[in-house]
Structure 1
Amino acid sequence: MRRIPSSLATLTLVCLLTAACGGEQGGTDGAAPTAGPSTGPSTASVLSAASPEETPTEAESSPEAKAAPTTAPAVAPTTAAAPVKAPLTCAHLAEARIGSSKTPYNGYPDYLPLAGGQWSGEDGATVTLQKPCGIGDMDGDGAEDAVGAVAVNSGGSGTFYTLAAWRNSGGLPVFRALTDLGDRTPVVSISVAGRKATVVWLTRSPSRGMAELDIKRTSVFKLSGSTLTEVSHTDAPYNP
């Protein structure tokens, strides 16, 4: 048997080993890349960056996030309260006006302003507000008006009494109407009810002198335009 030289055997073994190594590693053309850590971005991260996950916006909120419509509770209608009329008192008449250009008092062409219940003119006449006064609605507007009396003295013996009405304008007296009662016929009392003024005053019989008062008259007056019209009266004897 022929013996193979050791050198040839060694060379043959190296070739076999080299072929085996080449089969595992392969060449550079068509060889699979060696797996290992990559410094570039991964495929998953690239896809994630290219197609970001959409988040719901306020306009695209899910049906569960929307509030269910509610029905507002019905509000019961309220009735506006009637405006409260400012009160008018007898004390207000002390600063009131008597007469007007349309309804002159005692022949004066314009109103006379009372101050502290009195007015004095350059002609020597003095107008004085009398104490009797009545408060009540005379014209049906729901506000309480005032009815009072004034007396004028021009320096002589005569004192002429006049009944006057003032309407309530926001708690202030505004002259409305008047009617003359006569000379030396003082007013005893005034009351207002049912849009009428009941006035008790003193007067005389036709046969009596001016200073002789023998009748106590109760007259009922109703407001009619710019005058107080007497609708009825009753007389009773008066003995001072």
Structure 2
Amino acid sequence: MRRTLPSFAALALACLLTACGGDSGTTASASTTVTPAAATPGASAPAAIAPSADPATASPSGAPSAPAKPAPPKPKPPTTPALTCAQLAGAQLGSAAAPYNGYPDHIPLTEGIWNGEDGASVELQEPCGIGDLDGDGAADAVGTVRLRAGGTGQFWTVAVWRNSGGEPVYRALVDLGDRNPVTSISVSGQRATVVWLTRSDGRGMAELDIRRTSVYRLSGTTLVEVSHTDAPYTP
């Protein structure tokens, strides 16, 4: 018995030392660290979105289309050339609608003169005016003729020729009477202004003492006097 006791005591001491050593050991606490994932090689950032083209201005190829060209202006209608006083020298005077001096038909002027079988003669006189009388935009002509039928009588008439495609066509007239010469004619604002000489009541036919300025407008086949003013005249 005395020989086995030390062995048992030694074994107990060894166990005690082993248990104490285990209690004094330290245990490291575990920690978790999250590391961001590395970028994948070859990957690129998302591309920016380009603004879309306006469908109203974009052409099928993607380029903006040119603005529409304005329509060309409409051509102006051809302008009728104005009549000239020289054209009246070969014009016709009078018509069935507006006869001249009682002649039933027109009389043709040749170089400004007409001679009738009855001995009467008609001569185109110098006073003449050019301008639009009927409002169609074409310049008409107003002229004067003098009729001689024998004796001392000289009958003056103001006549209108309408512009028809650049040619004179007789339209209207107004008689001024015996020995009442015209000195000037002008046309403006669809009115014809005629300056002519006449006499006071009681004067002889050769005694001209009034310068009259008459304003006429065209009404159908008639020249209608709108107004007139008189001024003294001394030959």
| TM-score, length of structure 1 as denominator length | 0.69
Secondary structure class of the residue paired with 1:228: strand
Secondary structure class of the residue paired with 1:93: helix
Structure-1 residue corresponding to 2:176:
181
* Alignment of 1:76 onto 2:70: yes
Q: Distance in 1 between matches of 2:67 and 2:84?
A: 47
Higher helix content, 1 or 2: 1
Secondary structure class of the residue paired with 2:89: helix
Structure-2 residue corresponding to 1:203:
198
Instruction: Provide structure 1 residue ranges, at least 5 long, that are not aligned to the other structure.
Output: 1-66
Percent identity between matched residues is 66
Structure-2 residue corresponding to 1:226:
221
CA offsets 1:118-160 (integer angstroms, 9 cap, x no match):
1000000000001000000000000000001101001121010
Q: Distance in 2 between matches of 1:121 and 1:145?
A: 27
Q: Distance in 2 between matches of 1:177 and 1:75?
A: 51
Q: Distance in 2 between matches of 1:174 and 1:76?
A: 42
Q: CA deviation at 1:81?
A: 1.2
Q: CA deviation at 1:82?
A: 2.9
Instruction: Provide structure 2 residue ranges, at least 5 long, that are not aligned to the other structure.
Output: 1-59
Q: CA deviation at 1:102?
A: 1.1
Structure-2 residue corresponding to 1:99:
94
Structure-1 residue corresponding to 2:22:
none
Q: CA deviation at 1:107?
A: 0.5
The amino acid that maps onto 1:155 is G
The amino acid that maps onto 1:180 is D
Q: Distance in 1 between matches of 2:76 and 2:162?
A: 23
Query: What is the RMSD of the two structures over their aligned residues, measured on CA atoms?
Result: 1.8
Q: CA deviation at 1:209?
A: 0.9
Q: Distance in 2 between matches of 1:136 and 1:86?
A: 11
Equivalences for 1:143-182 in 2 at 5 Å? 143-182=138-177
CA offsets 1:194-223 (integer angstroms, 9 cap, x no match):
000000000001110111111000000110
Distance change in 2, residues 1:72/1:108 (3 Å): farther
Structure-2 residue corresponding to 1:58:
none
The amino acid that maps onto 1:76 is P
Q: Distance in 1 between matches of 2:209 and 2:114?
A: 30
Equivalences for 1:1-240 in 2 at 5 Å? 74-77=68-71, 78-240=73-235
| TM-score, length of structure 2 as denominator length | 0.70
Q: Distance in 2 between matches of 1:114 and 1:102?
A: 18
The amino acid that maps onto 2:106 is Y
